[in-house]
Chains A and B, each alone.
Chain A
Amino acid sequence: MQSLNGEKRMARSDPAPSRWAYRFQRLMLTPVFRTLLRVGVPFALCLVATLFYLSADGRRDAIRLAIADIRAEIFNRPEFTVRLMAVDGASDGLSADIREIVPYDFPVSSFDLDLETIRQDVAGLAAVRAASVRIRNGGVLQVDIVERHPAVLWRSGEGLHLVDIEGVVLDDVTHRGAHPDLPLLAGRGADRHVREAMEIFAATGPLTPRLRGLVRRGERRWDVVLDRGQIILLPEIGPIQALERVIALSDAQDMMARDLVAVDMRLSERPTLRMSEGAVENWWKIRNISVENDGS
């Protein structure tokens, strides 16, 4: 007996693909479709899975917490801990000031330190000329300071100030006796010409013991004030040469020891002396005596 299904079995052995299988294969061979399948579908699946996972608040918070924990753990490792601060190149007072303005309580993680802000804060102090801040091996915050040193005392309308050679006001001083070693300047604008004033001080030579200070006149030239109220008025240009001439005269004729009030060197071709009132009267008296003697 021959099977009645024989026809169908023969049909199934047909090697030809069905129309849909053929179309499906052609679709799978389409480059755009394959790219979509290879990239687009996994991407979409991952996206959906991630979004589904993150749609719950609890999971999001847990992830955030875990990240924060890991961060804290790394930050708090001993390798990254800064335990103390070293300040180099600063005097004790300045060092105390710096320690005061750095707003951190040690130990602290180096990730939490904002070195640039610290540097700017420290450099903002008047007594600091330059500052560099770094974290040294061994967890030390190293602050290197180049300090300003007071060069002169400056008496202005507001009081007595310490001024460094560049004219930066470092501090206020209550009385002159606190810094007897520093020379004294006075007058408006004197702080901007400290370097010139220092040169004049250096040139005083034998007059140094008698020197009281320098006065800036009209923000343009200097007066040298000696004791006994004597003043040497220096010109605007070449004050050192003028002072040296005065010193030479003083050496030769003992001029400054006499009863002068002022030596006016403002016009170099015509130095002028101003004597004190008593000296003038005496001088007149002497002249009269001599005239009388001559005339008799």
Chain B
Amino acid sequence: MIELYESQRAMRNLRKAAMQRGVVAVLDVGTSKIACLVLRFDGIDPAGGDVGSMAGQAGFRVIGAATTRSRGVRFGEIEAMAETERAIRTAVQAAQKMANIRVDHVIACFSGAGPRSYGLAGEVDLEGQVVSEQDVSRVLSACDVPDYGTGREVLHAQPVNFALDHRSGLIDPRGQMGTRLATDMHMVTVEAAAVQNLALAVRRCDLELAGVASSSYVSGVAALVEDEQELGAACIDMGGGTTGISIFMKKHMIYADAVSMGGEHVTNDISLGLQVPPATAERLKTFLGGVMATGMDDREMIDLEGETGDWEHDRRQVSRAELIGIMRPRVEEILEEVRVRLDAAGFEHLPSQQIVLTGGGSQIPGLDGLASKILGQQVRLGRPMRVHGLPQAATGPGFASAVGMCLFAAHPQDEWWDFELPVEKYPARSLRRAVKWFKDNW
């Protein structure tokens, strides 16, 4: 685990340096679009500290925003490096131009790479009467790490819960009396190749990667309101190539997953079913698409224009009901797959079963009605929360993960590597170990 510490700590230090300089870029590498926001950190809390952290929105401002069509990304993973690099360059350049400032550090998120979620538990006897920082480190490192396989990498490892003797649900056990400290930790692993490809693509744009996050996690941070995060809710981020799932409880993510299906599959179905090019299919989906057909839709005819030269082929007409009939099965399939994942995660055991749909795919008209039939009654459409300086064009649900990245950058949650290494595992602290040995034996 030492290497993980090192790389994540190096990224954390880069992030701190970037915050010190005041400017950091946020990059959402999606399947259908790449969004780049430039944040400026003022270090001044406009609320004056009395109101709290303003749900993490205080202290920064979006000064540049740009979005571009994604290329070379499939299922949330980079597939064609040069293409992706160009797309990132386009977005970063436009955002820099708007911000009129040069950014060097980038925090990126991606949705694919098969995220897997693990719950870890650890237990340790306290050294003294009172829980110290060292004890927290020890209990974190005492967690039994499952064998998540070679070629995978830990993306998040967040302590979710602390228990001291018989009291559970502690957020911060430091300074409390007790004898035995236990913790639950939530760990997300992804394929290492995807992270490395992303780092390489960012580096090829002369930028430095100062942090990586899972897209499902950050869109949950942005789209769930505070009480939903506290009481338990699932965020479904319906993206272009993947649909991310994250479950939040007590303001911590306790489960993350992704379904490798998204809006582009819907577009593909339309393209196949109506024999139109993908661009036309995308236009039909966004302007006229839906999932609940009514009688009116049978009468509303859509012209399918083509350039083949075949008069019959170019003068076809379909009713809107047909379009909906193509879209609905695929959307249902996605939602059912989400249902399966949620059931596997034990979502039904949570006290509150709020489900929030966000992401670009959630803008399909009538989706909330369809989703409530499949996922349960408590479904709402979520938009990312408002942050300072965000342009109107970037406030839609498709920017949930970009906005979540801003909040993640401003107020990161404690991760495993944010704590000091326990004394026993830290080779550089051998002197302290010697002192401790002396103390114990004499």
Distance in Å: Cβ of B222 to nearest Cβ of chain A:
27
- Stretch in B39-47, B86-94, B135-143, B422-430 touching the partner: B86-94
The stretch among A15-23, A67-75, A100-108 that forms the contact with chain B is A15-23
Contact of A25 among B86, B87, B96 (CB under 8 A): B96
Complex Cα spacing A26 to B96, Å: 8
In whole Å, how far is A241's beta carbon from the nearest beta carbon of chain B? Answer: 91
Chain B: interface residue count, which band? 10 to 19
Q: Which of B86, B87, B101 has the most CB of A within 10 A?
A: B86
> B90 to A29, Cβ gap below 8 A?
no
Chain B positions within 8 Å of A22 at CB level: 89, 92-93, 205-206
Q: Does B102 contact A (CB under 8 A)?
A: yes
Contact between chains at B102 and A14 (CB < 8 Å): no
1/0 per residue, CB under 8 A from A, across B91-114: the answer is 011001100111000000000000
Most A CB within 10 A of own CB, among B93, B100, B101, B206: B93
Q: Which residues of B contact A15 (CB under 8 A)?
A: 68, 90
A16-B89 contact in complex given A22-B205, A26-B206, C-beta closer than 8 Å: yes
**A16, A25, A30 pick with most chain B CB within 10 angstroms:** A16
CB distance from A286 to the nearest CB of B (A): 124
Given contacts A26-B96, A29-B96, contact A19 B102 (CB under 8 A): no
CB distance from A196 to the nearest CB of B (A): 84
Contacts of A30 in B (CB 8 A): 102
Report the nearest B residue to A33, measured CB to CB.
B102
Contact A25 B206 (CB under 8 A): no
Which interface residue of A15, A30, A31 has the most chain B CB atoms within 10 A? Answer: A15
Cβ-defined contact, A29 with B206, below 8 A: no
Hey, which chain B residues are within 8 Å of A16, CB to CB? 86-87, 89-90
Within 8 A of B (CB), among A15-46: 15-17, 19, 22-23, 25-26, 29-31
Q: Bound state CA distance, A30 and B104, in angstroms?
A: 10
CB of B87, distance to nearest CB on chain A (Å): 6
With both chains docked as a complex, state the minimum distance between the C-beta of A69 and any C-beta of chain B, in angstroms: 50
Which label, helix, strand, loop or mixed, suits the secondary structure of the B interface? helix
Which residue on A lies nearest to B90, using beta carbons?
A16
| B100 partner, pick from A14, A23, A26, A29, beta carbons under 8 A | A29
For A26, list chain B residues within 8 Å (CB).
96, 102, 206
* A254 CB → nearest B CB, Å: 111
Q: How far is the CB of A268 from chain B (nearest CB, A)?
A: 95
Q: Which of B89, B101, B102, B206 contacts A17 (CB 8 A)?
A: B89
User: B87: which A residues are within 8 A, CB to CB?
Assistant: 16
Judge whether A29 and B86 touch: CB under 8 Å: no
> How far, in whole Å, are A26 and B25 apart by their CA atoms in the complex?
14
Q: A17-B89, A17-B90 are in contact. Are A23 and B96 (CB under 8 A)?
A: no
Q: In whole angstroms, how far apart are the Cα atoms of A244 and B114 in the complex?
A: 133
Question: When the two chains form their complex, are residues B206 and A14 in contact, meaning their CB atoms are under 8 A apart?
Answer: no
CA distance in complex: A22, B206 (Å): 9
Which residues of the other chain, B, contact A17 by a CB distance below 8 angstroms? 89-90, 93
Q: Are A14 and B86 neighbours in the complex by a CB distance under 8 Å?
A: yes
CB-defined contacts of B89 to chain A, threshold 8 Å: 16-17, 19, 22
Bound CA span A14–B96, Å: 19
Complex Cα spacing A19 to B205, Å: 8
CB 8 Å contact bits of A256-288 with B (1 = contact, 0 = none): 000000000000000000000000000000000
Tell me the minimal C-beta distance from B155 to chain A in angstroms: 28
Q: In whole angstroms, how far apart are the Cα atoms of A19 and B88 in the complex? A: 11
Given contacts A29-B100, A30-B102, contact A23 B206 (CB under 8 A): yes
Residues of chain A lying within 8 A (CB to CB) of residue B68? 15
Whole-angstrom distance between the alpha carbons of A15 and B66 in the complex?
Answer: 13
CB neighbours of B92 from chain A (8 A): 22
Q: How far is the CA of A209 from the CA of B274 in the complex (A)?
A: 151
B205 partner residues in chain A, CB cutoff 8 A: 22
- Give the 9 A-B residue pairs with the shortest CB-CB distance, closest first: A16-B86, A29-B102, A16-B90, A22-B89, A17-B93, A30-B102, A26-B102, A16-B89, A15-B90
The contact sample of 22 A-B pairs, CB cut-off 8 A, is: A15-B68, A15-B90, A16-B86, A16-B89, A17-B89, A17-B90, A19-B89, A22-B89, A22-B92, A22-B93, A22-B206, A23-B206, A25-B93, A25-B97, A26-B96, A26-B102, A26-B206, A29-B96, A29-B100, A29-B101, A29-B102, A31-B102
Q: Contacts A29-B96, A29-B102, A31-B102 given; 17 further ones with Cβ under 8 A?
A: A15-B68, A15-B90, A16-B86, A16-B87, A16-B89, A17-B90, A17-B93, A19-B89, A22-B89, A22-B92, A22-B205, A22-B206, A25-B96, A25-B97, A26-B96, A26-B102, A26-B206
